[in-house]
């Protein structure tokens, strides 16, 4: 029994680190669209192609990755993913020094392929390593670790790339010298990331992870399960909405609300920090612990919201307090979900849709905080959609289901350029109608779609 618990703890620790790594990489690429727009003097549509190059890897590679897991297992798939991530990271060095936007896109696709390997392996592993009843809680915990990284990435872009750059509101007026300076600041974060993931790959190679029963069993079709297919569509809209909101956020705050590029990137860090805070809430709200303990655990999470909100804005405690208050509201709203994955998902999807609509039809501080607050309500969506979509599946079906679900992360490649086109043609505010519609579908899945069998 002690060995079982030790293996469980080791497995959760390793995959917690994996979630952190691919969370950082994903958000760094999404936020990188803002400096890339400056470096290459791109339209908003063209800048969002960076997100497309990242997320197009999911439909291309997710299902083959599921087959690869069946053949070589979770551990070797994770190691291969880390090596590909390192390779993609190092491609950014010549891409920035030339500089070449096509090479940027190629490096992004290679890095994203590595992330796909990690994500397709990680989600079913965390789901299957413990009891079904607490699968949503475990996924929320690992997603919270993922979200710590997603908050750090925009802050790093604000600090390492935007800080000290004199950028005009109209990026088409950026001087070639400033564009080249921005390009010269890109490689270092990728070099560091590449080295780190190679070290992690070596560490994983040297440790023994618990093996899931059914890992090498004959593959079963999941097309007979409507709740899996509808859940995959839910992931399409969720990722498209989350990435679309985030991808436009920096330029929206800069161009429509008059924020500096550095401050806009800091606010983007708070948007992703909301996902981190909400997932920490979800890690114990969807567990079987007593309500009194849940309230006790909420207090340090609220403190984390205060400190992290202040930290990423150069210790602006007023912003930190505002973020903490919004996080407290998020925690109270989570109580309406009564610890149920589907019910909480429905409530959060409805509120996220309302926040996007409010961003469309308002301006100033109201619009700023409504769009940033969406991150808190995105928080539990991926783990809850995933947990509902794979419910009632056996281990032999998990890798196939995960491959299909992760293939529909394609939404991150489709919706951001669509939003960019709307922003170019009609203005940034109207682009937020796209994620509002997306959250409406997620509301449907939470209320009815996941029950279809």
What secondary structure, in 3-state letters, does the chain show?
A: CHHHHHHHHHHHHHHHHHHHHHHHHHHHHHHHHHHHHHHHCCCHHHHCHHHHHHHCHHHHHHHHHHHHHHHHCHHHHHHHHHHHHHHHHHHHHHHHHCCCHHHHHHHHHHHHHHHHHHHHHHHHHHHHCCCHHHHHHHHHHHHHHHHHHHHHHHHHHHHHHHCCCCCCCCHHHCCHHHHHHHHHCCHHHHHHHHHHHHHHHHHHHHCCCCCCCCCCCCCCCCCCCHHHHHHHHHHHHHHHHHHHHHHHHHHHHHHCCCCCHHHHHHHHHHHHHHHHHHHHHHHHHCCCCCHHHHHHHHHHHHHHHHHHHHHCCCCCHHHHHHHHHHHHHHHHHHHHHCCCHHHHHHHHHHHHHHHHHHHHHCCHHHHHHHHHHHHHHHCCHHHHHHHHHCCCCCHHHHHHHHHHHHHHHHHHHHHHHHHHHHHHHHCHHHHCHHHHHHHHHHHHHHHCHHHCC
State the pLDDT at residue 125: 72
* CA 383 distance to own-chain centroid: 11
Residue 299: burial class (beta carbons within 10 Å; 0-12, 13-18, 19+): exposed
Which residue bears the tokens 């070797």? 76
Stretch among 15-24, 330-339, 348-357, 426-435 having the lowest mean pLDDT: 15-24
The CA distance from 245 to 154, in Å, is 14
Average pLDDT value for residue range 269-287: 85
Whether 217 has a pLDDT exceeding 60, the answer reads no
Stretch among 32-46, 198-212, 342-356 having the lowest mean pLDDT: 198-212
Stretch among 81-90, 118-127, 359-368 having the lowest mean pLDDT: 118-127
Per-residue burial over 156-186, b if 16 or more Cβ lie within 10 Å, else e, is: bbbbebbeebebeeebeebeeebbebbbebb
Whether 355 has a pLDDT exceeding 50, the answer reads yes
State the pLDDT at residue 3: 41
State the pLDDT at residue 6: 47
pLDDT tens digits, 30-62: 888 888 888 888 899 999 999 999 999 988 988
How many angstroms separate the Cα of 366 from the Cα of each of 247, 336, 359, 362, 363? 20, 24, 8, 7, 6
Nearest 5°: the CA angle 434, 431, 282 is: 55
Whether 333 has a pLDDT exceeding 90, the answer reads yes
Residue 133's pLDDT band, with cuts at 50, 70 and 90, is low
Whether 218 has a pLDDT exceeding 60, the answer reads no
Q: Is 0.85 surpassed by the pTM of this model?
A: no
The CA distance from 255 to 171, in Å, is 9
Higher pLDDT, 179 or 57: 57
State the pLDDT at residue 5: 46
Average pLDDT value for residue range 299-309: 95
Average pLDDT value for residue range 149-174: 76
Which residue bears the tokens 């060995």? 3
Whether 92 has a pLDDT exceeding 50, the answer reads yes
Whether 442 has a pLDDT exceeding 90, the answer reads yes
State the pLDDT at residue 371: 97
- Domains belonging to the chain, first-starting first, are 2-451 (1.20.1250.20)
The CA distance from 103 to 91, in Å, is 8
Higher pLDDT, 390 or 289: 390
């Amino acid at each position: 029994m002690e060995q079982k618990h030790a293996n469980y703890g080791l497995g959760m620790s390793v995959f917690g680190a994996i979630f952190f790594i691919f969370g950082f990489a994903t958000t760094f690429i999404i936020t990188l669209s803002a400096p890339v727009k400056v470096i290459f003097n791109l339209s908003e549509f063209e800048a969002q192609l960076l997100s497309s190059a990242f997320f197009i890897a999911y439909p291309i590679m997710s299902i083959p990755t599921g087959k690869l897991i069946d053949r070589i297992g979770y551990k070797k798939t994770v190691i291969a993913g880390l090596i590909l991530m390192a390779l993609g990271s190092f491609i950014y060095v010549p891409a920035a020094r030339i500089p070449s936007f096509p090479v940027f896109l190629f490096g992004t696709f290679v890095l994203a392929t590595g992330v796909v390997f990690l994500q397709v392996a990680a989600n079913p592993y965390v789901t299957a390593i413990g009891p079904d009843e607490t699968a949503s809680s475990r996924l929320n915990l690992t997603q919270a670790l993922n979200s710590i990284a997603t908050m750090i990435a925009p802050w790093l872009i604000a600090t390492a790339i935007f800080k000290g750059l004199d950028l005009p509101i109209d990026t088409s007026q950026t001087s070639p010298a400033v564009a080249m300076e921005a390009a010269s600041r890109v490689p270092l974060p990728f070099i560091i990331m590449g080295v780190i993931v190679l070290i992690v790959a070596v560490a994983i190679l040297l440790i023994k992870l618990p093996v899931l029963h059914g890992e090498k069993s004959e593959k079963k079709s999941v097309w007979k399960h409507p709740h899996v297919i509808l859940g995959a569509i839910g992931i399409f809209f969720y990722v498209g909405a989350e990435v679309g909101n985030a991808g436009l956020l920096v330029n929206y705050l800069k161009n429509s609300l008059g924020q500096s590029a550095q401050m806009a990137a800091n606010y983007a860090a708070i948007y992703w920090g909301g996902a981190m805070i909400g997932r920490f809430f979800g890690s114990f709200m969807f567990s079987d612990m007593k309500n009194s303990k849940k309230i006790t655990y909420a207090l340090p999470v609220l403190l984390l919201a205060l400190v992290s909100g202040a930290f990423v804005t150069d210790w602006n405690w007023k912003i930190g307090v505002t973020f903490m208050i919004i996080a407290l509201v998020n925690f109270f709203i989570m109580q309406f979900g009564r610890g149920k994955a589907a019910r909480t998902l429905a409530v959060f999807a409805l509120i996220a849709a309302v926040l996007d609509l409010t961003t469309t039809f308002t301006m100033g501080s109201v619009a700023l905080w409504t769009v940033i607050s969406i991150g808190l309500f995105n928080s539990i969506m991926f783990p809850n959609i995933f947990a509902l979509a794979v419910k009632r599946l056996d281990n032999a079906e998990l890798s196939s289901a995960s491959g299909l679900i992760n293939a529909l992360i394609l939404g991150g490649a489709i919706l951001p350029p669509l939003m960019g086109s709307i922003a170019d043609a009609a203005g940034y505010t109207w682009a937020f109608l796209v994620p509002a519609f997306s959250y409406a579908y997620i509301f449907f899945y939470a209320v009815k779609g996941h029950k279809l069998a």
